Copies of this chain bind each other. A is one copy, B any other.
């Protein structure tokens, strides 16, 4: 019954009629993705949609250059018919990501191929820096003849409602849709579409950095919760007698496994200025590879606490895969074994209920790639861009 979302205004109900056209657009796009070239009549015959509906849907798709005609060919029953294929070449989807000391930009085409992947030092004001980077990326793509389908900005933590408005103003109210989303939610979308297990319908992505969050996909869909706060992972309480956390509580995951805490544990003499976190992480990685005992002991302890927190997620949500990003990905050879042991010890279901902990297959631009992925997902679900100017 994968075709339906059961929404419940007064008992379970199928999709709204208003969604039927979007559903049908998505069905036509998918048919063309797998079966093209094919004719309008072929599409009608396979989907059960009537020919007038298919013609109207295809006109919409052609107007938006998502589909194009490639001339006449004989169709199944031998009559000449205009054949259709997917297009989409004139489009690009853009994602930006804010980190403590750098910004990332990624652009994808409709097939998910990278058109650009930039990293820039970030020192100034967030909105102005993002707007400058967005203008450069969009300018480059437009000079290449592409229309930007949308731009999504990944931000850590809870999204401030005014942020998107300020950014839109700084960009001069762009014509393309502008979204701001939690970085963990976007990273898990990218992990699913572009990562190592693209077929996984149940997975989570844990962001590593000074703060820690989780993005969760359950049964193929992003889990958001009633107000969009799902995936609050960094402040899961692990031990009421644990160290004081930046949030004022005790024993949160972040107090054991946030990047600052990891540096404090592994390099007790290091200064803790965020601009030096990158070099410190490189140093920890070097010492771990060299077998430094203090660093290895610190990472084993971090891995245990990470596994404890993952066990809470695994028992409640039962993902097939938990992908580690950020510093957890960099240090994964030393974190995953103790984390997995802790998960095994704390799982109620046998074999951890099928949950595995892996390093993310994406580089540190996962959330930016997820921003672009978010734009593509909307197209694939039948939300078309406006018709192109001719």
Q: Which residues of A contact B (CB under 8 A)?
A: 1-17, 19-24, 26-27, 29-31, 33, 46-51, 53, 112, 158, 192-193, 198-202, 214, 216, 218-221, 223-233, 235-237, 239-241, 247, 249, 308, 311-313, 315-320, 346, 348-349, 353-355, 376-378, 380-383
Contact = CB atoms under 8 A, between A and B. Distances in A.
A223 B313 CA distance: 13
A193 B12 contact: yes
B4 A225 contact: no
Nearest to A313: B316
Contacts of A22: 1, 3-4
A17 to B, nearest CB: 6
Nearest to A320: B226
A279 to B, nearest CB: 30
Given A7-B220, A232-B348, A317 B316 contact: yes
Contacts of A8: 192-193, 198-201, 220
A381 B13 CA distance: 7
B226 A355 contact: yes
10 contacts: A2-B5, A3-B382, A5-B5, A5-B221, A7-B201, A11-B380, A14-B30, A158-B349, A218-B225, A223-B223
Given A112-B11, A198-B10, A5 B219 contact: yes
A333 to B, nearest CB: 25
Contacts of A31: 17
Contact of A380 (B12, B316, B381): B12
Given A17-B31, A237-B308, 8 more contacts: A14-B27, A23-B23, A50-B50, A50-B53, A218-B225, A219-B224, A226-B354, A233-B315
A50 B44 CA distance: 10
